[in-house]
Copies of this chain bind each other. A is one copy, B any other.
């Protein structure tokens, strides 16, 4: 599927041209970075859902240091896009926490924080999804794979972007047959308790702030220092998180 075809199919679902372009830009970026599970194939998946293409995310509370958003039935991608745009338009003097209730699916979290870092802001973002990871000792799924994404602007023009899911494989890998269902556990092998703890901590963080439906929590701040160029110099030719593949 090309980006143009994806746009037309999203338009046929009822999405505005602007919203379709937001979605396709995200999917194309995911493809380009080798995350095909979050790429254009998602259009066919969206076609199977019961969507409200006219839904608009709403900002229920806006203070200097805190915002609360409600997805209001819009796709999580569009909720995060709205938050990113609003934040870049009116960044905090120092820092701001934004909570997004009813925000799903959220796609590649690194995509959203990278845009914030390209706009000059430090950003850290997490989001929940279906419970799929069991306790390292087994049992039922207790937590989503709950990625944590961190992006830091850099004066060399290339932000550092860490984007880590707590699962050893993705649900998309399982659906595509690239991994067995029993491989969808916290990453880390003998130290899977660490990724499990992070996943459960992030799950509960979002749950405590955004409520029982899938949500997202974003923290943005203005950087006061520029640590990435020195880190790159120290790392020499080794790839740092978020570098082009």
Contacts and interface: CB of A to CB of B under 8 A. Distances in A.
Interface stretch (A13-21, A69-77, A82-90, A91-99): A91-99
A208 B153 contact: yes
A11 interface: no
Contact of A234 (B63, B142, B209, B241): B142
Interface in A176-235: 187-191, 194-198, 200-205, 207-212, 219, 221, 223-228, 231, 234-235
A157 to B, nearest CB: 15
Contact of A63 (B94, B135, B188, B241): B94
Contact of A64 (B64, B189, B191, B194): B64
Contacts of A40: none
Contact of A188 (B135, B189, B205): B189
Copy number in this complex?
Answer: 2
B97 A208 contact: no
B194 A164 contact: yes
Contacts of A187: 188, 191, 194
A189 to B, nearest CB: 4
Nearest to A124: B205
A199 to B, nearest CB: 9
A123 B238 CA distance: 33
Contact of A240 (B64, B200, B211): B200
A78 interface: no
Interface residues of A, number: 71
Contacts of A152: 201, 204-205, 207-208
B194 A208 contact: no
A164 B205 contact: no
Nearest to A135: B238
A209 B122 contact: yes
Contacts of A240: 200
Interface in A27-86: 61, 63-66, 68
Given A65-B63, A65-B64, A94-B65, A225 B198 contact: no
Contacts of A163: 197
Given A139-B236, A191-B168, A225 B205 contact: no
Given A63-B94, A152-B207, A152-B208, 5 more contacts: A150-B204, A152-B204, A164-B201, A200-B240, A208-B223
